[in-house]
Each structure stands twice: as C-alpha cells, then as structure tokens.
C-alpha cells in the first residue's frame, strides 16, 4: 500500500514516510480506514451463514427444512429493505456526515443480529434479517464514501479496492461458527452463529468512534479550517503548510465550487449530462452484475449446489464452505492490493473471462453427474467452483464499490451510492428468490443462463468501462465529463501530466517546503 502510482500527486512533497507502516499519521489513516472496510462483514457473514445453517440439522428441524420458494424468500429478506434505506442514508450523509450514517447502520445490524439468534419462528427470523439488511444498506452508502474521501492519496486506491474484500472476513468467521454449531446440542447450535454476526458492527463502532469526518464533507459545509486540520493530521503528521495537503484542499474546494455552479446535487442530475448518464449506466451495470454473474448461486445456495453433485454430509458442506471463504479472502486481498498496478479494465476483463471458462466446467461436470450418477464427476466440479470464485475475486469483489465510488463527483457520490444500493438489492432480492426455484427445477442447465450473462458483461466492459488508473478522485471526472474533442484532449493532457510529474519525482524533484511561489506551481487539474 505504500507504493505510489504514476499520479499527479506523486510529485508533490509530503511530510510522510514512503511506507505507511513507518509513519504515525498513515498508520492512523489505515486504522480508521479499516473501520470502514469492516462494514461489509455483515453481508459476507450472512452469505456464509445461510449456507452453513442449511447444513445444521437443528436449524432444518426448527424451520422445517425450507426449500424452493420458502428458502428463496428467507434469503431475499436481507436485501428488500436496501431498496429503500439507501436514500435516507444519503440524506444523513449530506446533513450530518458520513460517520453518523455508519453509526446508525451498525446499531441496526447489532439489533438485528441479536433478534436473529433469538427468533422463535420463521417470521421473526426473516424480520431480524430485514433489520440487518436495513442497517447494512445505510453503512454501505456511507462507508465507501468516507473511506475514499478520507484516505491518503497514496492509500486511496488499495484501501478502496480492499473494502469489499472484507466481505470474506465475515464469510470465513461465519463458516467457522457454523462448523462449531454442528457440535453444539440443541437450538444453540444455530442460534449462536446467528448472534455472533454482531462482532463485525461492534468492531466498526469501536474503531470509528474517534475517526475523522470526510474533508470533502467539511469543505462542503464551509468548515475549511476543520478540513485543513483533518488533512494535516492524517495526511502530513500535523503540518498545515504541507504542499500535498494544500494541493488536496485546493482540488477539493475547486471541484465542489464547479459542481455547485453546475448544480450537480440532485438525483435528476444523473440524466442531465452525457458524463453523468455514463456514470449512472456504468454504476447500474455493476450493481446488477455483482450478483448476476453466477456468484449468487454459489454464495447463498452452496449447500444445495453441493448436494446436487453428491456432497451431502453436513461436515463436508460446512468444511467446503469454510475453505471457499478463506480462498475468497486471500484472492480478494491480493487483487485489491494490485488493482492500481494492473488497472481496472484489464482486471474486469480477465475476471469475467475466467468466470465464463470455470462455470462452463462446473456445468459440464454437473451435467455428467446428473446423467451418470458417478460421484467422481460431481467431485470434479468442486475445484472449478473455487476457480470460478477466484476469477470473481480478481475484479468483481475489489472493484464493485471502489470503482463506483471513485467515478462519482462529490455532490452525487452518496446519491449515486444510494441508487447503487437500491439497484443492487432489487437485483439481489429477485436473484436470491429465483435461484433456488430454478436450480431445483432445471438443475445443471441453470448454469447456462449465467454463462450467457457473463459473455454479455465481457462485451459491455470492453466497450463501455473507462480506465481510472493513476487518477485522483477529482481527476476521474475528466474521464467521464468530456465528450468533445477538446474535452478528450484535456483528459489526455491530465494523464500526460500525471506521468510527467511521476518522472520528475523519480529524478528527485524537490521544492521549498513552504512559500507561495512553490505552492502556486503545485499541479492542479482545474488550472
């Protein structure tokens, strides 16, 4: 995370160490960023939890072994509240700040987790999942925004792309708790794993209780001194005269002023300009694709998928569930740390192509097992399930929130995330309701649907997803906002300047640490 990329800010002197772990303020920056990154823990926990619960005999006995429509409805209840709750989250973020939205969402997840574990019937179980979904939707609007806006420029990309990788810390924790649940007698075999999901939001609250607010939010509210103090404390070890801090504050202020002039502050603004329409279309394509590229079957319905290929023992299902969660966590973190090295578009394309190939093998082996009944064919599908998810983790895990967050200008950021969360939950609720029905009805043939969807996404990504590698959040707007020849020239010049500045930095480009003359020469995308 320490390495800088060929970005404009790379050439600007900054009062920090090159490696974040050697620098006091960058260590704090990473620590508070971790508080945001733990927010997806709840959803990863739930994904693995529902798979694990389906393998725990006590849960199946208590809820009469739900299948088909009933199982689909149970799975969908965590997504349905998110269709609505992203919009009040946007209002809270704009009025009170990103942190208060995260606090509220985390408290709701804790309440829902406790209620979930103490449920007395299916209605209460689903109601608790709905509370968790409402709280999670609020945190997922605020946390990516705060993470990207408060992170040091050198750390923004890797921290942002690792954000959703922490989804799998929840998956792994849940998978382990479900294995433990197999050996607990009585209803606590399933109740304890349900309640244990509160550890994620408790960690979030513990870390973020003293976290800084977004400097962009502070500038938007006219609190420039507080924004300067925040940037100095967490980006320059308290040096308010630091040139990188001055550049950041300048970029934020000018960008917000231009957005104010352009009146980019309502949901309608997504449809007023070509750049904003493209942002909206890309965000909506990702929000649907995140769970419509085939992972939805594997994540929430791994148990029936494994049973369909002959793996039926509870300990085997929960063991594979845990192994898959660990595999996902490792691949997602490695991918997140290297996104800036390889770029967004190449990783999206490689990821999607890998899913197409591996899913084709899963379909083929599943078909072979269904036709012949040979267990060897069924077992052969399991490694390709791991390869499928490994491919998914290359791009769709680390980039689904970070890419959407960085392509949105400040005044539309939480509004865009609210629309993103709403669209994602509509797609997920439908998908999770339909998956068990379709899987039970047509078994292995259902995989062909997702192979076709993945092929369509590969084509869409190739022609429509722009590259944002090496750009600050303010610079990304150049990629989307200009469609004229002159605008494209400006974008190209910004990228050339980023490369040139990086070269100067490598040659030992220096300048006085203080002084108006040097400050005026700090590069700006708006100058």
DSSP string for 221-242: TT-HHHHHHHHHHHHSTT-TT-
User: What was the pLDDT predicted at 16?
Assistant: 94
Smallest CA-to-CA distance from 293 within 386, 163, 365, 391 is with 391
**Distance between CA atoms of 130 and 175, rounded to whole angstroms?**
21
Distances in whole angstroms, Cα of residue 440 to Cα of each of 56, 222, 363? 20, 57, 15
User: What was the pLDDT predicted at 167?
Assistant: 87
User: What was the pLDDT predicted at 487?
Assistant: 44
Residue whose pair of structure tokens reads 């974040």 in the numeric block: 20
Distances in whole angstroms, Cα of residue 436 to Cα of each of 66, 70, 132, 239, 497? 10, 9, 22, 57, 52
How many residues comprise the chain?
527
What is the end-to-end Cα distance of the chain in Å, rounded? 29
Contact between residue 404 and residue 286 where contact means Cβ atoms under 8 Å apart: yes
CATH class of residue range 8-479: mainly alpha
Residues of the chain with pLDDT under 70: 1-8, 261-265, 298-305, 308-309, 474, 477-478, 482-527
Please report which residue ranges of 163-223 form alpha helices under DSSP H: 167-181, 188-195, 199-208, 215-220
User: What was the pLDDT predicted at 506?
Assistant: 40
Contact between residue 13 and residue 243 where contact means Cβ atoms under 8 Å apart: yes
User: What was the pLDDT predicted at 489?
Assistant: 58
Smallest CA-to-CA distance from 474 within 316, 253, 320, 291 is with 253
Contact between residue 449 and residue 85 where contact means Cβ atoms under 8 Å apart: no
**Distance between CA atoms of 155 and 153, rounded to whole angstroms?**
5
**Could you tell me the pTM of the whole model?**
0.78
Q: What does R_g of the chain's alpha carbons equal in angstroms? A: 23
Residue whose pair of structure tokens reads 């072994």 in the numeric block: 65
User: What was the pLDDT predicted at 263?
Assistant: 59
Distances in whole angstroms, Cα of residue 458 to Cα of each of 120, 335, 351, 398, 485? 45, 19, 9, 17, 27
Contact between residue 155 and residue 1 where contact means Cβ atoms under 8 Å apart: yes
Distances in whole angstroms, Cα of residue 82 to Cα of each of 41, 129, 141, 331? 16, 11, 10, 27
């Amino acid at each position: 995370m320490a390495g800088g990329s060929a970005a404009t800010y790379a050439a600007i002197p900054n009062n920090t160490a090159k490696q974040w772990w050697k620098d006091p303020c960058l260590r704090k920056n990473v620590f508070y960023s971790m508080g945001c990154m733990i927010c997806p823990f709840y959803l990863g926990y739930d994904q693995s939890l529902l798979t694990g619960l389906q393998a725990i005999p006590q849960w199946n006995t208590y809820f009469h072994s739900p299948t088909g429509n009933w199982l689909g409805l149970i799975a969908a209840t965590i997504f349905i509240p998110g269709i609505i709750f992203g919009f009040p989250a946007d209002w809270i973020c704009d009025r009170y700040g990103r942190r208060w939205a995260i606090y509220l969402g985390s408290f709701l997840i804790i309440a829902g987790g406790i209620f979930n574990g103490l449920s007395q019937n299916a209605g209460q179980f689903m109601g608790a999942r709905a509370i968790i979904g409402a709280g999670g939707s609020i945190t997922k609007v605020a946390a990516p925004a705060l993470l990207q806006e408060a992170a040091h420029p050198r750390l923004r990309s890797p921290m942002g792309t690792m954000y959703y990788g922490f989804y799998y810390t929840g998956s792994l924790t849940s998978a382990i708790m479900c294995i433990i649940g197999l050996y607990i007698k009585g209803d606590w075999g399933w109740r304890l794993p349900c309640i244990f999901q509160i550890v994620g939001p408790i960690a979030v609250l513990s870390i973020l209780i003293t976290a800084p607010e977004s400097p962009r939010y502070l500038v938007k509210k006219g609190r420039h001194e507080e924004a300067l103090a925040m940037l100095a404390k967490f980006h320059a070890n308290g040096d308010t005269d630091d040139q990188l801090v001055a550049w950041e504050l300048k970029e934020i202020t000018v960008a917000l002023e231009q957005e104010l002039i352009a009146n980019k502050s309502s949901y309608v603004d997504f449809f007023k300009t070509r750049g904003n329409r493209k942002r909206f279309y890309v965000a909506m394509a990702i929000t649907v694709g995140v769970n419509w590229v085939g992972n939805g079957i594997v994540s929430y319905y791994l148990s029936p998928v494994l049973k369909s290929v002959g793996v039926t023992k509870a300990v085997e299902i929960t063991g594979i569930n845990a192994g898959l969660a660990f595999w996902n966590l490792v691949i997602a973190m490695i991918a997140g740390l290297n996104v800036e090295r390889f770029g967004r578009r190449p990783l999206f394309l490689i990821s999607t192509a890998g899913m197409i190939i591996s899913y084709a093998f899963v379909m083929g082996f599943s078909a072979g097992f269904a036709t012949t009944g040979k267990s060897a064919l069924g077992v052969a599908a399991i490694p390709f399930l791991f390869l499928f998810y490994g491919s998914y983790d290359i791009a769709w895990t680390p980039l689904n929130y970070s890419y959407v967050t960085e392509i949105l200008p400040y005044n539309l950021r939480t509004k865009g995330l609210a629309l993103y969360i709403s669209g994602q939950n509509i797609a997920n609720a439908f998908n999770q309701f339909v998956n068990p029905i379709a899987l039970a009805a047509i078994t292995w043939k259902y995989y062909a649907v997702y192979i076709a969807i993945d092929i369509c996404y590969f084509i869409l990504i190739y022609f429509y997803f722009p590259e944002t590698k090496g750009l600050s959040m303010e610079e990304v707007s150049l990629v989307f906002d200009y469609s004229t020849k002159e605008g494209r020239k400006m974008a190209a010049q910004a990228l050339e300047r980023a490369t040139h500045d990086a070269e100067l930095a490598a040659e030992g480009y220096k300048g006085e640490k203080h002084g108006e003359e040097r400050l005026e020469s700090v590069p700006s995308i708006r100058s």
